[in-house]
Amino acid sequence: MMIKRITCVFLLFVFPLWTSQGLSAPPKISPATGLLNQFYDWKAETKIRYQVSGPPEGKPVLLVHGLFVNSDHWRKTLKELGERGYRTYAVDLLGSGYSDKPPSYSPHLCGEYARFKDAPSVIKNVELGTARGETRIANVDLRHPVSSCYNFFTWSDLLTDFTKQVIQPKEKVTLVCNSIGTISTLQCLIDDDDEELYDGAFVVSPNFRELHSAEVPLAGVVMPILRTVQSLLRQYGKTVFDALAKPDTVKQILKEPYARTEAVDDTLVQVLLDPLLTEGSSRVVFDTLSYSAGPLPEQQLQQVQKPVWICYGKDDPWTPGPRVEALSRMPTVERVEGFDGVGHCPHDEAPELVHPLLLQFLQRIATQTPTSASDAVPSTQ
């Protein structure tokens, strides 16, 4: 499973980087959402692309995308929440989509430097999950092995600065995330010590990062080999993927994480792949694939103090259902809901299932009344 996943990710998100000489500036209007592409100047020099829907006075919601995609992946949720009266934002994280892709070694951007200056970068004896929903104990290495700025702490800092400077909320912001966007999102909740910015998180298909050193079986043997492969790919990956480039297979490969493959339409392929043809994308891809460290969901949820709801697709080939269900043991995880016949991207595959549950969560946040699992939205599968 691990080799298949790695191969899929490499083929889908890496080889297109060398099938074009690069694209010009992003379109003024997103073809996926019909919304204006806007840009936030983060730390005065880095442009971050975002989209926004809904009335200015609406309750603020911030959508956080997953691995190698961008804010357009929330095309259906942006429309739904905006029409429901929520002021809904979606950003391209640093290095993703049409946001800037600065050099990997950018200490002024990297969220790791200040955090680990006087604190350990390895957390020992953490209770994590297994694919069967059991528990195990492992050490969690938090620091990126090549000190890249493309890490979850940087992305968390970005989200918080965006919240303060762009959203400028008059009331607390609700975070909604998919896949590895979960980790940046949970880090935002952890860092929100003054409890002034965020009021909770709705998670769509959390990712458990099977290439993390705490997740790899026999890590003492496997990790040195894996790190060697990662280093070689950072140096020589272009030649490898030049040879593998077959653009006509892109759409088929994109269907790998989708159980409802009809959701993979031409618009989705366009808006996810076009930004990956921009300058600097290959560096971000290889840095991220070399990131066998960072926080993990169970470790983070033991620190989160705000309500969390989780949903996932039961036919997700990348995220084991029993491990997701086991997150219900965490004190602030109030609900875990699985959808039959849905894969890794329920918000794009089955919005008719995800959106009612998300709206219930937003109502729960508004009333501050926890809702029992028995009140969950029933699956129509």
By the 8 A CB rule, do 366 and 334 touch?
A: no
User: 């983070």: which residue's tokens?
Assistant: 300
What is the H or E stretch that residue 237 is in?
helix 219-244
Answer whether residue 287 shows pLDDT above 90: no
Give me the mean pLDDT over the 135-160 stretch.
94
User: 């939205």: which residue's tokens?
Assistant: 377
Q: Among the listed ranges 12-21, 184-193, 293-302, which one has the minimum average pLDDT value?
A: 12-21
Answer whether residue 335 shows pLDDT above 70: yes
Identify which has the larger pLDDT, 54 or 292.
54
Structure tokens at 282: 């290959």
Answer whether residue 190 shows pLDDT above 70: yes
Instruction: Give the separation between CA 58 and CA 38, rounded to whole angstroms.
Output: 19
Q: Residue 349: pLDDT band by 50, 70, 90 thresholds? A: very high
Q: Is residue 237 part of a domain?
A: yes
Domain of residue 22, CATH code: 3.40.50.1820
Q: Is residue 272 part of a domain?
A: yes
CB-based burial, 178-203: b 16+ in 10 Å, e otherwise? bbbbbbbbbbbbbbbeeeebbbbbbb
Give me the mean pLDDT over the 275-301 stretch.
86
Q: Residue 277: pLDDT band by 50, 70, 90 thresholds? A: confident
Q: Is residue 380 part of a domain?
A: no
pLDDT at 2: 46
Q: Is residue 381 part of a domain?
A: no
Answer whether residue 354 shows pLDDT above 50: yes
Answer whether residue 235 shows pLDDT above 70: no
Q: Is residue 277 part of a domain?
A: yes
- Return the bridge partners of 203, or none: 177, 310
Identify which has the larger pLDDT, 224 or 363.
363
Q: Residue 283: pLDDT band by 50, 70, 90 thresholds? A: confident
Q: Among the listed ranges 185-189, 209-213, 278-282, which one has the minimum average pLDDT value?
A: 278-282
Q: Is residue 251 part of a domain?
A: yes
Give me the mean pLDDT over the 274-299 stretch.
85
**What's the domain count of the chain?**
1
Give me the mean pLDDT over the 152-171 stretch.
97
pLDDT at 246: 42
Entry pTM: 0.90
Q: Is 261 exposed, middle or buried (0-12, 13-18, 19+ CB in 10 A)?
A: middle
The conformation of residue 48, written as its DSSP 8-state character, comes to: E
Instruction: Give the separation between CA 34 and CA 53, rounded to whole angstroms.
Output: 10
Q: Residue 236: pLDDT band by 50, 70, 90 thresholds? A: low
Q: Residue 13: pLDDT band by 50, 70, 90 thresholds? A: very low
pLDDT > 70 in the chain, percent: 83
Instruction: Determine the structural domain holding residue 112 and report its residue range.
Output: 2-375
Nearest 5 degrees, angle CA 129-CA 368-CA 62?
Answer: 65
Q: Is residue 341 part of a domain?
A: yes
Structure tokens at 283: 């560096």
Q: Is residue 154 part of a domain?
A: yes
Which pLDDT tens digit goes with each residue over 29-74?
Answer: 999 999 999 999 999 889 999 999 999 999 999 999 998 899 999 9
